[in-house]
């Protein structure tokens, strides 16, 4: 197996394991949780994606845009704006898609897997970020009167 294929398999396995953990331990508790306890930490984590912009220019430009979108979503959420839900959907959809496309491009490029930052960013961050996108999709998939409709967000 090539190093690139092994890396892709490792990322897929880590993402699956973290997704399973989220499904078993987080998703069942969503209905009883305060929306802010779920959404705010996820958005704050993704707001730190600007650091990937610095590490992976020019490919990290999308991370800078996603960090800004996470902050805009957070502001709308905390202010209870009617734009919160559409911004959250936009952030979450673009963020998850961007991570998947980025990993695909990384693997397809045959980039060096020598332990440099080009390896550690996707190896450590991507599975965890994808798991948070999964949790946020579960929150957003609830009916309008559900979790995000319980109180102004």
pLDDT of 53 above 60: no
- Supply the pLDDT for residue 143: 67
Q: How confident is the model at residue 45 (pLDDT cuts 50, 70, 90)?
A: very high
| pLDDT, position 55 | 61
Helix 84-109 vs helix 35-47: angle between axes, to the nearest 10 degrees? 40
pLDDT at position 43 over 90: yes
- pLDDT at residue 152, as a whole number: 39
Q: How many CB atoms are closer than 10 A to CB 75?
A: 14
User: Residue 26 is encoded by which pair of tokens?
Assistant: 């987080």
Domain edges within the chain: 3-148
Q: Give 62-84 pLDDT, tens digit per residue.
A: 788 899 999 999 999 999 899 99
């Amino acid at each position: 197996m090539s190093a690139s294929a092994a890396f892709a398999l490792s990322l897929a396995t880590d993402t699956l394991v973290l997704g399973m953990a989220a499904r078993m331990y987080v998703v069942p508790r969503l209905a009883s949780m305060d929306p802010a306890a779920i959404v705010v930490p996820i958005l704050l984590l993704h707001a730190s994606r600007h650091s990937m912009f610095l590490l992976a220019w020019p490919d990290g430009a999308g991370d800078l845009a996603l960090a800004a979108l996470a902050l805009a979503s957070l502001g709308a959420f905390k202010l209870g704006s009617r734009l919160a839900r559409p911004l959250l959907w936009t952030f979450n959809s673009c963020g998850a898609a961007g991570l998947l496309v980025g990993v695909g491009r990384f693997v397809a490029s045959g980039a060096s897997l020598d332990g440099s930052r080009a390896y550690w960013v996707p190896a450590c961050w991507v599975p965890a970020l994808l798991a948070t996108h999964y949790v946020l999709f579960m929150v957003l998939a609830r009916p309008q009167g559900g979790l995000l409709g319980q109180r102004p967000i």
